[in-house]
Structure 1
Amino acid sequence: MNAESTFHRPAGTAADGPYALDIHPKNAGWGYSSLRVLELPPGGHHSFATGESEWIVLPLSGGCTVAVDPPGPNGPGGAPTGEEFALTGRDSVFSGVTDFAYVPRDAHVGIASESGGRFALTGARCSRRLPARYGPASSVPVELRGTGNCSRQVNNFGAAAPAGGDDDYGFECDKLIAVEVITPGGNWSSYPPHKHDECRPGEESELEEIYYFEIAEANGRPGLGYQRVSPSGHGQNTDVLAEVRGGDVVLIPDGWHGPSIAAPGHDMYYLNVMAGPGEAREWLICDHPDHGWIRGTWPEQPVDPRLPLYSAPAGEAR
């Protein structure tokens, strides 16, 4: 496997068993981050053991129920006890914010879908076992980041609190950080290029990252985008320039990542999954010194009027 194919996995090349995509520490060559994409037909069901990882079940299209049971007999008569969450889901990643479910390590999980659908399982190896919980779509912070042709939308369903920010921001996990980004056609996101491959307290956190892409069709035609990762001098000196299409993933163990470029006419979605060895769950980044100046131009420009593509539905905040 050459360097490019190590880090860029086109759709279908990382399928395994029931999963259309299965990235985990062993096949990624790292320690923490995982991502699975599960496709269920109408009436379909899938179960799995969470093992040493915590997971968020995130509908990409369709809805499902998520049943969570601790391993082993715990209830009266030896019956397992647990919880069940009904996820409304959404038509597609371009149609709205979705609700989701958090499931802890050391549990058994069952996912069932009456109408069928596609579901992302974002995971991270962790040490703490937190309670299973439901995340309503109404509580997902939707952020517009950048301006002009650097405008993009970030759905912070599993974000870590920003440095110096609100501790209640995002959703509590032990290690897992996960967000969705939508880039309008013709725009650049993950820009300026940035990195998080060193542990520098208060300045930068060490995080492995997965980018999973979906590209909106236009005029009945599939689209594409581009993802750049350049060496930072740390780790594996990852160097990737990938043409990405729907269902592709790019693995980023280290390096400056960005830009993520959406072809004109085709909105681009990516799901970011991050985790690392740091004791604190935090997303601290360092901008590329040649390109960080672009942030200073943003106040002079309006946000792309195509954004937000959608907002979180009204409801009771978390």
Structure 2
Amino acid sequence: MPKLLVKPEGRHGRVSHVTPESAGWTYVGFDLHRMKPGEIVATETGSREVCLVWISGKGKATAGGEDFGVLGERMSPFEGAPHALYVPANANWSVTAETELELAVCSAPGGGGYRAKAIAPGTHPKLSRGKGSNVRHVHNIMPEDDNSAHSLLVVEVITPSGNTSSYPSHKHDRDDLPNESLLEETYYHRLNPPQGFAFQRVYTDDRSLDEAMAVEDGDVTLVPKGYHPCATIHGYDLYYLNVMAGPKRVWKFHNAKEHEWLLG
């Protein structure tokens, strides 16, 4: 199995690159570009659909023959909800950086005749989940109930310092609806302040997969199967961008039974 912790390669250009082939799975791809003003990233989606997420900075975007103008407001992923842009299969897209820009490219198999669409901050309401030291704040970008894509699910989460997240431990690795859906998943992690660190564990019931990772600013983690809780240390807030996809665009998870009492 490929390593589950993917470190950034450099500080400029395409610094993260996850494909189904490199991850050893079928659906999810993820790239992260760090761009300087005037630089351009442009490509064609082919058989895959894409969600572009403005992690920080501003950039002018075109997609599917449409000009979407300058997108992006925040200068840090910890400053509210993002701008995003959905691009369907068999379409061209380009982004030209207006400021220093951190651009995420989330991808999965496309289809269904969807059109390119900008997703403004606040399109979906901010949600807060958990209690005590298990609090996190959620910005859905492409949730399952918006009927906006063929297979992509995309969401951002902020976990305040000292809190756990993606917890109680849950998994979504069986195609067994309505009980559980099969979804591969990537986490793109950022820390505030950036010198901090967090932890993520990916494990299965039988422990045939059981990997605990120290996560630093800019790391990507892969969740091919199993449970995948996170925890950030005191003094450092944790941001992550989740990309999920599978045979059906449904997020139905199964909680680890030994930890379900925490939901009571």
Structure 2 equivalent of residue 172 of structure 1: 148
**What amino acid is aligned across from residue 178 of structure 2 in structure 1?**
G
Length-normalised TM-score, structure 1? 0.79
Structure 2 equivalent of residue 41 of structure 1: 36
CA contact (8 A) 1:233 1:255 kept: no
Q: Tell me how far apart the structure 2 counterparts of residues 38 and 128 of structure 1 sit (CA, whole Å).
A: 28
Length-normalised TM-score, structure 2? 0.94
**What amino acid is aligned across from residue 199 of structure 1 in structure 2?**
D
Within the alignment, does 1:26 sit opposite 2:9 as a pair?
Answer: no
Shift of 1:131: 0.3
CA contact (8 A) 1:238 1:253 kept: no
**What amino acid is aligned across from residue 22 of structure 1 in structure 2?**
H
Deviation string 1:167-205 (CA, Å, 9 cap, x unpaired) is: x4xx61110001011100000011000000001111100
Shift of 1:215: 0.5
Match of 1:267 among 219, 237, 242: 237
Within the alignment, does 1:214 sit opposite 2:190 as a pair?
Answer: yes
Structure 2 equivalent of residue 7 of structure 1: 4
CA contact (8 A) 1:144 1:154 kept: yes
Q: Tell me how far apart the structure 1 counterparts of residues 154 and 113 of structure 2 sit (CA, whole Å).
A: 18
Alignment length (residue pairs): 263
Shift of 1:141: 2.2
CA contact (8 A) 2:88 2:111 kept: no
Q: Tell me how far apart the structure 2 counterparts of residues 263 and 47 of structure 1 sit (CA, whole Å).
A: 38
Q: Tell me how far apart the structure 2 counterparts of residues 98 and 273 of structure 1 sit (CA, whole Å).
A: 15
State which structure, 1 or 2, has the greater radius of gyration over its C-alpha atoms: 1
Structure 2: state its 5+ residue gaps.
none
Instruction: Give the % identical residues.
Output: 34
Shift of 1:94: 0.4
Within the alignment, does 1:200 sit opposite 2:176 as a pair?
Answer: yes
SS in 2 for 1:141: coil
Match of 1:184 among 160, 164, 168: 160
Structure 2 equivalent of residue 312 of structure 1: none
Q: Tell me how far apart the structure 1 counterparts of residues 125 and 63 of structure 2 sit (CA, whole Å).
A: 25
Deviation string 1:41-64 (CA, Å, 9 cap, x unpaired) is: 111111111121111111111011
Structure 1 segment 87-98 matched on structure 2, within 5 A: 87-98=71-82
Within the alignment, does 1:147 sit opposite 2:131 as a pair?
Answer: yes
**If each structure's strand is expressed as a fraction of its own residues, which one has the higher value?**
2
Structure 1 segment 1-318 matched on structure 2, within 5 A: 6-12=3-9, 18-69=13-64, 82-85=65-68, 86-161=70-145, 168=146, 172-217=148-193, 222-233=195-206, 237-258=208-229, 260-278=230-248, 281-296=249-264
Q: Tell me how far apart the structure 2 counterparts of residues 127 and 140 of structure 1 sit (CA, whole Å).
A: 23
Structure 1: state its 5+ residue gaps.
70-81, 162-167, 297-318
Shift of 1:18: 4.0
Root-mean-square deviation (Å): 1.8
CA contact (8 A) 2:56 2:73 kept: yes
CA contact (8 A) 2:52 2:103 kept: yes
Structure 2 equivalent of residue 79 of structure 1: none
